[in-house]
Amino acid sequence: MGRRKSILGTFVREMEKSTNRAAADRRRRERRLEAVQSRAIEREIVRHEREQERARIRAEREAERRRITDERERALLQKQEAKDAQIRAWRLEYEEHNEREQEIDRIANESPEVEDRDRLYAELLERRAFEPALFVAPTPPNSKAKAKKLHEQTNQEIESQLASFRPKVASVRRAQAVTWAILAAGLVLFFVEAISDSSAPLAIIFVGIVGIVVTQIVATRQANHQRDTFQARVEQEVNLRLQEALGVLTREDEAQAQAALQKARTTYETETEAARAAFDREEDERLRSLHQLQDGNTGRMREALEAALPLDLPVPCQVRFDVQYAHTISLELDVPEPSVIPTTEAKLLSSGKVTYKEKSEKRLREQYLRLVAGLAIRHASEALLNLPTCQVVELRAFRTALDPSIGRPTRRMVVELSVDYPTLAPMTMDEIDPLMALKHFSHRINVDRDRDLQPLGASIH
């Protein structure tokens, strides 16, 4: 018996051990599975973090690449804009340089055509017609604001009277009271005779309800009809007063507009007559001055020259004049120094850049000779054009330069010219060469073999 218990206990212990080992193995497998899953989750988290980091780095690199590209494009654009601005500046510099040289070179070519002098003065001697200013009617008074205020007051008055309206439905109210009494009587009979089978109370109740509904409908319609009638009457009365007020306002506006128009027209006529009188006085004075010029009035000739001289020229040139006779005047010019002529020649390259080349001394002297001759021709043409009786302009050009013999600047005559109207009139000034044009007139000019302008003697031989 004891032996059996020992075997059974051993078996039970072995079973417990086996169960414990199985449980331990299961726990180890669970822990191992949990560890594997944990490591897998950690690896997934690390992989996800690394992917995010790589994505962030790629985004930063892409943003940096775009920034660099944008900066490069902006730099290229700024460089191109700076280049275009520089090219425009060079072109402007080139055009200004050439324009300055052309203005100096074409002083004589800008002279007026004196051949048209007679026709010009014939047109100037025609009396001009007075052109009055257009009459502008004054703006009529604007009564929209007043009319709007009247409409608002009208609407407020209508709303106020409608708000105070009370419909007269006393008879209907009495009928309603009777029907309510019938209904109450029917209800009383219904509760009193509830145990009987009589239908009389129900009929009375039905009659009472129908009477209430009918009287209510009649009362509503009567009240609405009275309200509509009252509203129509009130609107008619108020609108009639509104139309009367608007009519008064319109008549006032018309009266004010008519008065303003009459006042404006009177002012316009007064100012027009004053302007006409002033214009006639100015026109009489203008025609009188022109007739005096045509008659050879030397005082008027001096006034005309004072108004015309000095000329607006690209180089400084002082001028003095003397009216000797009606047909002859004398001019004295102080011509500028050769330094007013640009010493360089500008050229625009295909790249847009401007280059300058020094002019030769010979070319500068030729340009200075052309300038002096051009100034003489220009002043003589302007004088002959402004003086209708003048036939001859005696012109002397002076230059102030250092005299080596005395060691100080001296004013010496360099050109002496006598320009007559019959010779100058047929010339086409736009195409002439002023230096070559001198040969058609009596003149003196001293040019050495180096084409340098030299002073003249004190008198003509």
∠ CA 175-181-186, nearest 5°, is: 130
Contacts of 137 (CB under 8 A, 6+ apart): 261, 264
Pairing of strands 328-334, 392-403: parallel
- C-beta of residue 151 within 8 angstroms of C-beta of residue 242: yes
Determine the Cα–Cα distance for residues 364 and 342; give it in Å rounded to an integer: 8
């070519």: which residue's tokens? 109
Among the listed residues 381, 365, 374, 382, the one whose alpha carbon sits nearest the alpha carbon of residue 437: 374
Of 156-160, 188-192, 311-315, the one with minimum mean pLDDT is 188-192
Q: What is the mean pLDDT of residues 313-331?
A: 90
In the predicted structure, residue 398 carries a pLDDT above the cut 90: yes
Q: Is the pLDDT of residue 394 over 80?
A: yes
Token pair listed for 50: 């690394």
Pairing outcome for strands 442-447 and 408-420? antiparallel
Tokens 């008549």, residue located: 251
Instruction: State the pLDDT at residue 359.
Output: 86
- Across the range 319-326, mean pLDDT stands at 88
Cα-to-chain-centroid distance, residue 281: 42
Q: What is the reported pLDDT for 11?
A: 66
Question: How many residues are there in the chain?
Answer: 461
What predicted TM-score, i.e. pTM, was given to this entire model?
0.60
- The pLDDT of residue 459 is 37
Give the containing element (helix H, strand E) for 120. helix 117-124
- Report pLDDT for 114: 82
239-248 pLDDT tens trace: 887 787 777 7
Cα 380 to chain centroid distance, Å, stands at 46
The share of the chain scoring above pLDDT 70, in percent, equals: 88
pLDDT at 166 > cutoff 60: yes
**Roughly what angle, to the nearest 10 degrees, separates helices 117-124 and 200-294?**
130
Cβ neighbourhood burial of 375 (10 Å; 0-12, 13-18, 19+) = buried
Stretch 174-178: mean pLDDT? 68
Phi, psi (rounded to 5 degrees) for 343:
-90, -5
pLDDT at 395: 92
Task: Describe the crossing of helices 361-386 and 2-105 by its angle, rounded to 10 degrees.
Answer: 60
What distance in Å separates the CA atoms of residue 407 and residue 422, rounded to the nearest whole number? 44
Confidence band (pLDDT; 50, 70, 90) for 195? very low
Mean pLDDT for the chain overall: 82
pLDDT digits (tens, 9 = 90+) for 42-101: 888 888 888 898 999 999 999 999 999 888 888 888 888 888 888 888 888 888 888 888
Among all chains, which residue has been given the structure tokens 């601005």? 85
Q: How far apart are CA 179 and CA 166, in angstroms?
A: 23
Percent of the chain clearing pLDDT 90 (strictly above): 8
- Residue 392's pLDDT band, with cuts at 50, 70 and 90, is very high
pLDDT-derived band at 192 (thresholds 50, 70, 90) equals low
Q: What is the dihedral of CA 95, 98, 99, 101, to 10 degrees?
A: 160
Place of tokens 């500028």: 336
